[in-house]
Amino acid sequence: MPIHWKTEVNALTVPQSYKIRFIPNNNLGTSDIAAGMGAINPALTPDLAKSSISALFQTVQKSLINGNHVTLDDSFIFTFSFTGRLDGPDDPLPPIAETLHVRVQPTAKFMKEIFHQAKFAKTDMTEKLPQINLVEDTTLRLNNVLSSTDVLQLTGDNLGFDPLLDNGECVISGTRNGSAVQTQFGPISNTSIILIPTIPVQNDPWNNEYTLSVSVRYTENGTLRTATYRSRLRTPLAVTLGNNNGILTDKANSPYVTVTGGNLSVDETVRIQVLLDHDGSLLFNLLDMSENGQAGETVIVTADGDLTLNGFAGSALSSLSLTVNSFTKLVKMIRENYSGRLVDVLVLQQGT
């Protein structure tokens, strides 16, 4: 089976250019790989193959913990790298969770064999694949918002499947951890899916970023074809003033931005927007809960530090105080995953 690819518009370049996107034929897990191992070596039962995979990666993990560089002959190299800046040669390491990274890369021989055997096929837009054009919270009437109490509508093409016939599925996954196959559906058609989302809980409350995919098998013996929605979905964040809640973050284990205070007369839900400007600065402001509605004044941010956003006309929130903890990571996230615009929904209440 060939490796499928297609072109997508790169919204961040002028003049317009295109990105090359890999289109997986299937999403394989441990059980699938174990079955493949059994096909190569019949002495490996599915359970034995699974235990072998588990033992391999536990051994690699332990070897890394012991400070080793690991090379699996003809396959992969596992090693560490560090990021971060020290002001002096004798400074201690910054927090390890933000500094230490595991790098996995294929060996030259592994890649050479792929180059030798792989066949490639460009996926035309006319080929039948699910396509998700828009995801909307129908209660809030906002795009790319994910709430477990609201009805979510997906619109697109070739989306139709029957959950009872096992010929398709919709999956919501956290970008840090957790995945949930959806089960609470309303009407499903080729152009629309209605559902009440089941949202997996991630490790920290500021990890409110999710991906959504739809897989469909169009014929009885056909391959599942999967489409992942191009935009990240974000769940509303509960923010109690005075509790230093994290916001505007992806899968990181510490928040890029923290709410440090504010003036709120009654509980209110608002949105906070961050735009990436052409000069690399970030533009922060508050928005009401409707597109093209009321907006607060813009504050320009160029580095880590504190800032205060003013509320908008008619809001119970007169000001919101923030601390940008990681300007560089926030810029990178907005540029790479949000096409220059990031919005979080904040469910605000006054602290005691």
Q: Report pLDDT digits (tens) over 138-189.
A: 999 999 999 999 999 999 999 999 999 989 999 999 999 999 999 999 999 9
Token representation of residue 169: 């599925």
pTM for this model (two decimals): 0.66
With cut-offs at 50, 70 and 90, classify the pLDDT of residue 193.
very high
Domain boundaries, the chain: 3-122, 131-234, 237-349
Helix residue ranges per DSSP H, 30-167: 30-40, 46-65, 96-99, 108-117
Give φ, ψ of 350 to 5 degrees: -75, 135
What pLDDT does residue 115 have? 92
**pLDDT over 80 at 54, yes or no:** yes
pLDDT digits (tens, 9 = 90+) for 55-107: 999 999 999 999 999 999 889 999 999 988 888 999 999 888 888 999 999 99
The residue-averaged pLDDT of 199-219 equals: 96
> Phi and psi dihedrals of 99, rounded to 5?
-110, -40
Report the CATH superfamily, name and number, of domain 3-122. IHF-like DNA-binding proteins (4.10.520.10)
Strand duo 225-228 + 209-216: pairing: antiparallel
Residue partners of 184: CB distance under 8 A and separation at least 6: 195, 196, 197, 198
Task: Give the DSSP letter string of 204-229.
Answer: STT--EEEEEEEE--STTPPPEEEE-
More confident residue, 86 or 268: 268
pLDDT (average), residues 24-28: 79
Does residue 127 register a pLDDT over 80? no
Closest CA to 343 of 91, 147, 144: 144
- Which DSSP letter does residue 295 get? B
Half-sphere exposure of 262 (CA within 13 A, CB side): 33
Q: Report the pLDDT value the prediction gives residue 317, as an integer from 0 to 100.
A: 97
Across the range 184-208, mean pLDDT stands at 97
Q: Which residue has the tokens 């990890």?
A: 207
Q: At a CB cut-off of 8 Å and minimum separation 6, what does 333 contact?
A: 249, 250, 256, 342
The pLDDT, as a whole number, for residue 312 is 96
| 337 vs 6 pLDDT, higher one | 337
pLDDT for the residue numbered 126? 55
pLDDT at 297: 96
In this chain, the answer to whether the domains covering 3-122 and 131-234 adopt an identical fold is no
Backbone torsions φ then ψ of 188, nearest 5 degrees: -125, 130
Residue found by looking up tokens 């880590």 in the block: 304
Share of the chain above pLDDT 90, in %: 74
Distance CA 179, CA 58 (A): 22
Write phi, then psi, for 67 (nearest 5 degrees): 85, 25
User: What fold characterizes domain 131-234?
Assistant: Coagulation Factor XIII; Chain A, domain 1 (2.70.50)
pLDDT at 148: 93
Q: What's the pLDDT at 302?
A: 96
CA distance 196 to 181: 12
